[in-house]
Amino acid sequence: MTLLRSQSSRLTLRLSRDLTRSLKRGHPWVFVDALRDLPPAPPGTPALLLDNTRGRPIAAGFYDPESSVTFRACRVDEPLRLNDDWAATRFEQAIALRSRLFDEHTTGYRLFNGEGDGLPGLVCDRYADVAVLKLDGPAASGFWDIDGIAAWLVENAGVESVVERRKQRGREGREGRWLIGTRAPLIEFREHGVKFTADVINGQKTGFFLDQRDNRQAIRRMSRDSRVLNVFSYTGGFSVLAGIGGAKHVTSVDSAEPAIAAADAHWLLNGLPPDAHAGIAVDAFEFLDEARLNRRKWDVVIIDPPAFAPSEATVARAVTAYRKLAFNGAAICERGGLLALASCSSHIDSQTFREACEEGISEARRRATLLAMHSQPPDHPTPLAMPEFRYLKFALLRCE
């Protein structure tokens, strides 16, 4: 089986400015304005990168003339060659890390996290015995051999079936196809012993939001005897963990009726009392506005919206949206209650997000104490030199 599409021919790229230190420290991206020339070649063509002064080789990776991230480094140490042995070693190292993180109580987790595992553009999530692969754009698709990777996973990672999720314009990761095996798309898995299902063909992301796992555990610990509101609930991950943690009642709000139906199903799958959960399919902003105007209150309020800033051009609008959510969240949170606010927008940094939360809470004439500020869990590793890869912000606050 082959893991890379091309292992023989490669082109040569030359830096126009000094990025050697950045690359050696672990930042794997080189943008178009840092390269001298853009030779004609298909996206995903293997490339050797030379420094800007003496033309010394400093990195091996692949080329994407159609993207502003024009070169992705895979290797900065000798030998600067990329082949199946190199890829298999990286796969094995990624799997070894997950074996230290999880046992049989957690069977849904990220197996490969792209640049964070030294595998640029390649993501693999595991749900029990099903692996779900995603390639980040045409260059990653041109570099990685997805059929060979699927076969390698079945042979070496203990999975039985493999799905590919394709990135659709305007519909990220919505369409899947079976590469190996065919079965019903709903795959049951466990998270710290709690049961969930992932729709690996049509669900959001690869079927579930695995990156909020540790934050769901925090909500579980802090929900006993509380009335909990989960807004942008999707399939009810936070809702179920709050219920497992002893919440009196949980309300899940999402605009998608299928998501609410799945949240109800997950609640019952874990043996929780049916009358302790209410799923409401309605626009989240409208629900929050109405709840504030009607002076409704909850002991725990969780607001985990989709990404509002897909590009730099949308940052200002996104900050306004986060500020409004913080305003409404604080207004409907009981005094002494817990408010959890999240952002998965990579273009919003942690400081900007905290400031938006602070402004919104202040506009609601409330004060808050920051209990914790979390990012993604350790199965979503990131290069230390690449802060922009740490997209998830999760603020746990106590409202005064």
pLDDT for 168 equals 56
Cβ atoms within 10 A of the Cβ of 178, count? 16
227 shares its domain with 367: yes
DSSP 49-60: EE-SSS--EEEE
Q: Which residues pair with 48 in a beta bridge?
A: 12, 60
For the chain, what is the largest distance between any 2 Cα atoms, rounded to a whole number of angstroms?
A: 71
Residue 52 lies in a domain: yes
Q: What is d(CA 152, CA 91) in angstroms, rounded to the nearest whole number?
A: 9
Higher pLDDT, 16 or 1: 16
CATH number for the domain that contains residue 103: 3.30.750.80
Q: Are residues 260 and 393 in the same domain?
A: yes
In a domain, 42, yes or no: yes
Q: Answer whether 220's CB lies under 8 Å from 246's CB.
A: no
Are 375 and 209 spatial neighbours (Cβ–Cβ below 8 Å)? no
Of 150, 184, 218, the one marking the end of a domain is: 184
- In sequence order, the 6+-apart residues with CB closer than 8 A to the CB of 232 are 253, 254, 284, 303, 304, 305, 306
In a domain, 200, yes or no: no
Is the model's pLDDT at 124 over the cut of 50?
yes
Mean pLDDT to the nearest integer, 41-50: 96
Averaged over 338-367, what is the pLDDT? 96
For residues 36 and 149, state if they share a domain.
Answer: no
Taking Cα atoms as reference points, which of 316, 306, 378, 313 lies closest to residue 343?
306
The answer on 328 and 299 residing in a single domain is yes
**pLDDT of 335 over the 80 cut:** yes
User: In this structure, are 362 and 227 located in the same domain?
Assistant: yes
Q: First-to-last CA distance in the chain? A: 59
- Banded pLDDT at 312 (limits 50, 70, 90): confident
The band of 7, judged by pLDDT with boundaries at 50, 70 and 90, is confident
The one-letter amino acid at 227: R
- 56 and 160 belong to one structural domain: no
49 & 170 share domain: no
Q: Which amino acid is at 316?
A: A
Q: Is pLDDT of 153 > 60?
A: yes
Strand partners, 199: 186
Contact 3, 144 (CB under 8 A): yes
Take residue 308 and report the two structure tokens written for it.
Answer: 């509002």
Asked whether 306 and 259 are in contact (CB, 8 A), the reply is: no
User: Mean pLDDT of all residues in the chain?
Assistant: 95
Say whether pLDDT at 54 is over 60: yes
Do residues 40 and 109 share a domain? no
- Token pair 């004439």 is found at 365
Considering the chain, what percentage of its residues have pLDDT values greater than 70?
98
Q: Is residue 58 scored above 80 in pLDDT?
A: yes
- Note the pLDDT of residue 170: 46
Question: What DSSP string runs through 163-188?
Answer: EEEEEETTEEEEEEEEEE----SEEE
**Helices in the chain by DSSP H: which ranges?**
20-25, 84-101, 137-143, 146-156, 213-221, 237-244, 257-269, 284-293, 315-331, 350-363
Q: Are 386 and 115 in contact (CB under 8 A)?
A: yes
Q: Do 311 and 165 have their domain in common? A: no
Indicate the number of domains in the chain. Answer: 3
pTM for the model: 0.94
Q: What is the pLDDT of residues 231-272, one digit of tens each?
A: 999 999 999 999 999 999 999 999 999 999 999 999 999 999
Total residues found in the chain within this entry: 400
CATH at 52: 2.30.130.10
The answer as to whether 192 is a domain residue is no
Residue 194 lies in a domain: no
What is the token pair recorded at 108? 């849904």
Distance CA 393, CA 307 (A): 11
Structural element, H or E, at residue 298: strand 298-303
Rounded Cα distance between 161 and 308, Å, is 33
Burial 13-39 (b: 16+ CB within 10 A, else e): bebeeebbebbeeebbbbeeebbeeee
- The domain boundary, picked from 184, 219, 237, lies at 184
Give dist(CA 376, CA 170) in Å, integer.
24
Hey, what amino acid is at 374?
A: H
* Residue 348 and residue 276 in one domain: yes
Based on the fold, state whether residues 310 and 275 are members of the same structural domain: yes
Give the range of the structural domain holding residue 60, as residue numbers without chain letter.
11-75
3-state percent breakdown (helix, strand, coil) of the chain, nearest 5: 35, 30, 35
In a domain, residue 260? The reply is yes
DSSP state of 34: G
Q: Is residue 68 part of a domain?
A: yes
What's the average model confidence in pLDDT over 129-134? 98
pLDDT (average), residues 106-124: 98
pLDDT band of residue 31 (cuts 50, 70, 90) is: very high
Asked, for residue 31, whether it belongs to a domain, the answer is yes
Of 184, 201, 232, the domain-final residue: 184
Same domain? 296 vs 252: yes
Alpha carbons 90 and 235: distance in angstroms, whole number? 33
Asked if the peptide bond before residue 46 counts as cis, ω within 30 degrees of 0, the response is no
Which pLDDT tens digit goes with each residue over 162-180? 999 986 544 444 579 999 9
Domain containing 333 — which CATH number? 3.40.50.150
Is the torsion defined by CA of 139, 391, 208, 258 positive or negative? negative
